[in-house]
Structures are given as C-alpha cells and as structure tokens.
C-alpha cells in the first residue's frame, strides 16, 4: 500500500543528502520498523511521507505512493487533504506535541473538523469518544474535557494515538512514540499498537533507535545508516542473520536482558 521509490532529500544548508535514494514498501496491515541512529535519515523519511518537510528548505526527488496516489508531487492543497486523512502521525514527546491550551477532545477531533465536514458535531464527538476508548483511556467522557497537562505522559501519548487514528487512516507513522516514556508505559503502548493493528488492520511505520522495541512490535525491519538503507527483511531474519556490518554492530550492542535502552 505504501511504496517509496528512490527517495532523495537534501536540505539546502547541508552538503550531504539526508536521505540518499531509499526504496521501501509497506504491505497492508504490516508493521514496518525503521531503525538507525540519530541523523541516519529515518525521521526525515517519515516526515517526507507525512508531508511535514519545509519545502522551501529542501529538495525532494523520487516517488512516494500511498494506495497508488502520489504523495510527493501533487499540489500542496491536494496533498494536505490526503495527508491528514490517510496518514496519522504520532510524535516522540506527547506533552509538547499537544496544544497546551486546547481541550483533549477538541484536539483529537481536529482532524475530523478538517476532513469529515459531512458529519455533524454529535457524530464527530461520538467518533472522538470511540477513538479515546479504542486507545484504552479510562472514562473517555472525562478525558474529552481535560487539558493535556492534566493527563499523565502515558495518557497523553494514548490521546495522541487516538487523534492519529480517529479518522481511520490507512497508515500510521510512529516517530519514536515510546522514547519519552518510562519502561512500563512503553510496554503498554506497544501492546496497544499491536492490538490496534490486529483489530483494524492499519499499517504502521514504526521509527526507533531501540532495536528491542522494534523486535517486539514489527514484522519487518529496515535499517538506515547515513541516509541509506543498508538492510531490510523479516524481523527475525535480520536479527538472527544480519548481513550488513552496521546491522551486526547494532545488534551486538543491544544490552541483553537488562531492559536498558540502546543509544
């Protein structure tokens, strides 16, 4: 369903390409992991799928197709419709990713007010409450009227996931969604994502520098280094038979059985 063909991204103020010719496919209902250290280009890849790169400051080439629709070269206003509706994004730090002055329910429902204008307020609210329940937030009706700072970190990230799935997009982009959370909450969020994938069949691109997390969640994994895709395959294959030296190096430096994060 998502097809990236020979994607190049170069920022005008950098000499090196941030993404240097990546090709990647995500099948329907698949959870794909994208791994690499910071600066490897994984977030830039995700941002170019979501249309969040500042177009004036960079040069893009290649193709990104979502269900056959072009995500890179169409007019901005066309893309905007597509982006909000077909792709949900969850970011790393839920606290700063939410508007501190807007009630949670209103933020979760924002995407509906933009892309589901045919539905009336009551229908939109029902969808928001359903999404809040889907991400297993207790008492959706109460959460609906709260401000972000009144929620815990885990609850905030659940609300962010709710806002990304409320319109039932076909792809969910997760940019290090558990990095800012502590380990127990991290495990809960991973379980939730698995459940959502199982129940709704939504495809996900999960970006992380943490191989352990990727291994728990993803069916396939791609490894990036300095803007290039160095290895790609089924999670188990990559983990037990890594071909590229960089992948081998990454796997060798996973701290075993300690629950420590990999940097």
Partner 1 sequence: MKYALKRVGMLLVTMLLVSFLTFLAFQLVSGDPVRTMLGTEATEAQIAALRSELGLDRPFFVRYFDWLCGFFTGNLGTSFSYRQPVWDLISSKLEITLLLSLISFILITVTSIPLGVLSYQWVGGPMDWVRTAFNQLCMAVPPFFTGILISWFFGIALRVFTPGDFPGLHTNPAGALRYLFFAAVCLSIPRAAMTVRMMRSTVISEMNKAYVRTAISRGNDRRTVLMAHVLKNSLVSVVTFLGQTMAELVGGSVVVEQVFGIPGLGRLLVTSISHRDYPVVQTLVVILAFWVVLAGTLADLVNQYIDPRLRLGGAV
Among residues 40, 163, 197, 235, the one that binds partner 1 under rule CB under 8 A: 163
| φ/ψ (deg, to 5) at 179 | -65, -35
Nearest to 193 by CA among 167, 173, 222: 173
Site for partner 1 in 16-75 (CB under 8 A): 50, 52
Q: Which stretches does DSSP call E strand in the chain?
A: 2-11, 19-26, 31-35, 58-66, 69-70, 87-90, 171-175, 203-208, 220-225, 228-234
For residue 110, give every residue at least 6 positions away whose Cβ sits within 8 Å of its Cβ, in sequence order, or none. Answer: 163
Residue from 2, 71, 89, 204 touching partner 1 (CB under 8 A): that is 89
Residue among 28, 73, 102, 152 that touches partner 1 (CB under 8 A): 102
d(CA 16, CA 250): 23
Which residue's CB is nearer to partner 1, number 84 or number 105?
84
Tell me which of 147, 192, 216, 237 binds partner 1, using CB under 8 A. Answer: 147
* In the complex, least distance from residue 118 CB atom to partner 1, rounded to whole angstroms: 15
The separation between the first and the last C-alpha atoms of the chain, rounded to the nearest angstrom, is 32
Among residue numbers 109 through 138, which ones bind partner 1 (CB under 8 A)?
Answer: 110-111, 114-115
Candidate segments 9-17, 106-114, 204-212, 220-228, binder of partner 1 by CB under 8 A: 106-114
- Do residues 171 and 87 touch, judged by C-beta distance below 8 A? yes
Least distance CB 6 / partner 1 (angstroms): 24
Residue 152 as a binder of partner 1 (CB under 8 A): the answer is no
User: Rounded to whole angstroms, what are the CA distances from 32 to 3, 25, 46, 59, 221?
Assistant: 12, 9, 12, 26, 6
User: Closest CB to partner 1 among 109 and 242?
Assistant: 109
Q: Which residues sit at the interface with partner 1, rule CB under 8 A? A: 50, 52, 76-77, 80-81, 83-85, 87-89, 91, 93, 96-102, 110-111, 114-115, 147, 149, 160, 163
């Amino acid at each position: 369903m998502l097809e990236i063909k020979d994607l190049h991204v170069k920022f005008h103020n950098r000499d090196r390409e941030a993404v240097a010719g990546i090709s990647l496919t995500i099948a329907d209902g698949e959870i794909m992991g994208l791994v690499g250290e910071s600066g490897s280009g994984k977030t830039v890849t995700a941002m170019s799928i979501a249309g969040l790169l500042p177009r004036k400051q960079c040069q893009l080439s290649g193709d990104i197709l979502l269900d056959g629709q072009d995500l890179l070269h169409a007019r901005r206003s066309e893309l905007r419709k597509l982006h909000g509706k077909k792709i949900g994004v969850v970011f790393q730090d839920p606290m700063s990713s939410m508007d501190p002055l807007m009630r949670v329910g209103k933020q979760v429902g924002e995407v509906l007010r933009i892309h589901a204008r045919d539905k009336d307020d009551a229908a939109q609210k029902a969808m928001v409450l359903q999404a809040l329940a889907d991400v297993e937030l207790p008492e959706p009706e109460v959460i609906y009227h709260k401000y972000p700072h009144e929620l815990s970190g885990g609850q905030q990230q659940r609300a962010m996931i709710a806002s990304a799935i409320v319109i039932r997009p076909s792809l969910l982009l997760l940019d290090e969604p558990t990095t800012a959370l502590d380990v127990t909450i991290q495990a809960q969020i991973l379980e939730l994502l698995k459940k959502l994938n199982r129940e709704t069949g939504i495809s996900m691109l999960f970006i992380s520098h943490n191989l352990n997390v990727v291994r728990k969640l993803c069916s396939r994994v791609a490894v990036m280094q300095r803007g290039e895709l160095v290895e790609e395959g089924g999670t188990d294959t990559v983990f037990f038979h890594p071909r590229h030296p960089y992948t081998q190096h990454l796997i060798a430096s996973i701290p075993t059985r300690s629950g420590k994060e990999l940097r």
